[in-house]
Amino acid sequence: MPGETPATRGGRPLRADARRNRERILDAARLLFAGPEGLAVPLDEIAEQAGVGPGTVHRHFPTKDALIAAVAVARLRQLVALAVRLATAPDAGAALRLQLAEMLAEGDHSAPLKSALGGTGFDIRTADPGAAAELRSAVSTLLHRAQGAGAVRSDIDIDDLMAGLAGTFHAIQYTGQRCDSERAERLIAMFFDSLKLRTGG
């Protein structure tokens, strides 16, 4: 609901067991959404996968749209955490490459979720603006480290990088291929080549 965060309900912090249940539901949903049934998987099946009752799923996520949105936001938070960890990696160029590859892969996997939410007014940047800003800041740090290490061209900024990332994702979607296809891999390689990334940091 508006104004609630993953750690609260009705403005009150969730109990530890409720937080654990919520995380199990999100993990199960993400796994099943990526499976053969996709977004059509029933909420009861998600509950079974998570090891909780259907009522527990409905208490945390009153609608499937709410669950889909929460999965997208949770993954965004995971990408932020990855970028923060990579900020201290010894190979700055490899760290940036890994982060961008994860973001491209997530964009591909999340496309059906975003499409399903298209008519709901959901925008991940407004659903969790803090996480969106944190991700941008963390990726900017990775970019600056890679530039300082001589692994990335110095004449680009975070806006250029994010634009290139978005363009590459849309190119992958245009081909109708997923990120593990040969064509998608070539497009990703072209993106990295444009940044002049090198193996060594």
pLDDT at residue number 54: 92
In a domain, 180, yes or no: yes
In a domain, 44, yes or no: no
pLDDT at residue number 115: 61
In a domain, 192, yes or no: yes
Residue type, 11: G
- pTM of the full predicted structure? 0.75
Output the tens digit of pLDDT for each of the chain's 201 residues.
333 445 555 545 567 888 899 999 999 998 888 888 888 899 999 999 999 999 999 999 998 888 988 888 888 899 999 999 999 999 999 999 999 988 888 776 666 666 666 555 556 666 677 888 899 999 999 999 999 999 999 999 999 999 998 888 888 777 664 445 677 778 888 999 999 855 444
Q: Which domain holds residue 194?
A: 92-201
In a domain, 130, yes or no: yes
pLDDT at residue number 3: 37
Residues 68, 116: contact at Cβ < 8 Å? yes
Measured distance CA(123)–CA(138) in Å, rounded: 20
In a domain, 75, yes or no: no
In a domain, 195, yes or no: yes
pLDDT at residue number 6: 53
In a domain, 37, yes or no: no
CA dist 144 → 63, 73, 87, 114, 141 (Å): 41, 26, 10, 30, 5
Measured distance CA(133)–CA(128) in Å, rounded: 9
